[in-house]
Amino acid sequence: MLLASEMEIRRIGVYSGVTGSGDASVPTGDSSDGLNKPPDESKSTEPINISNSNYWRDVRANLVRREQELLVDPSVPAESKASFGEAAHQLPQKWAHPITMPEAGCVLVATEVLDDDSVFERTVILLLRLGSRGTFDGPFGVILNRPLYTKIKNVNPSSFQDQTTPFGDCALFFGGPVDMSMFLVRTKDSSRLKGFEEVIPGICFGFRTELEKAGVLMKSGAIKTEDLRFFVGHAAWDYEQLLSEIRAGYWAVASCSTELISDAVSTDPSCLWTKILQLMGGHYSELSQKPKQDSS
């Protein structure tokens, strides 16, 4: 059953389950194929037109907020709530709400089912691409809240070998168990970051082989070291596998404001898991207060 907000979004053509090519079909082939293969780096240089995506994300978030208000107080007429055009002005800076299907730029929040998983327990993964039906082009992203408590210059051999200057003093984070390290770039003007893929407005990503480009941007003053976050490894799935894990309750899928993700990229993300669940509300907020499950 669709939520009222989802029905309205479908009516205006912005349903959360349609991303990328618009085909959310499950790929053919065995779901285990290609899981440890790094994504195609060449795709990150393709121009991505998401000029209106932040507006539509705000519209959807505002619709969800309106629906929650009506559930709390059904006597308030829907007409008195904020209109589409007021969405960006009515929303708080930091928001998060559940969505029914994964999409590029969403977050996957580990549930209590993964509490005994040493890799993924209480993680928040920013999904960088949803991928396509191709077996070797599935979803991938990075864990936002797993600091390694070391700097690039202290890791030998570094995952960013021969590229440590001027990034040597940047902190490293564990991005996931799949080879191929990556980095995120925070920016107020994505038009200055030519060659990087923008996942949500203000947040771009690149592969370790693209650090030379980032160095050039730093020299030009387009970005600063505090705008970068480096990840050793990443997380990747076959599309069918990710959907199966979501259905099994491993992950809560959420859309978050740019400000929330931007803060996670530039500051200590240790409370990110709790913060997102609390913003999602309802039973998600209750989950944020539960102690870890002990499988023993």
**For the segment 191-238, what is each residue's pLDDT rounded down to a tens digit?**
778 789 999 999 999 998 888 888 888 888 888 989 999 999 999 999
- In Å, the largest CA–CA distance within the chain is 63
Cα 15 from chain centroid? 17
Q: DSSP string of 108-134? A: EEE-GGGTT-TTTTT-EEEEEE---SS
pLDDT tens-digit map of 216-229: 888 888 889 899 99
Residue where a domain terminates, one of 91, 108, 139? 91
pLDDT digits (tens, 9 = 90+) for 264-289: 999 999 999 999 999 999 999 999 99
Distance, CA of 201 to CA of 235 (rounded, Å): 22
Is the domain of 122 the same as that of 223?
yes
pLDDT at residue 28, rounded to an integer: 32
Give domain status of residue 21, yes or no: no
Same structural domain, 66 and 212:
no
Domain count, the chain: 2
Over range 255-269, report the average pLDDT.
95
**Last residue of a domain, which of 91, 118, 152?**
91
290 lies in which domain range? Answer: 97-296
| Tokens (6 digits) for 15 | 């349903």
Model confidence at 96, in pLDDT bands (50, 70, 90)? very high
Same domain, 110 and 242: yes
DSSP 266: H
Same domain, 167 and 235: yes
218 and 106 co-located in one domain: yes
Which of the residue ranges 27-36, 58-67, 179-188 would you say has the lowest mean pLDDT?
Answer: 27-36
C-beta atoms surrounding 8 within 10 Å: 18
pLDDT band at 161 (very low <50, low <70, confident <90, very high): low
CATH number at residue 260: 3.40.1740.10
Does residue 261 surpass a pLDDT of 90?
yes
Q: Which residue reads 């070998």 in tokens?
A: 161
Task: Indicate whether 152 and 102 sit together in one domain.
Answer: yes
Peptide bond into 157 cis (omega under 30): yes
Domain C-terminal end among 39, 65, 91: 91
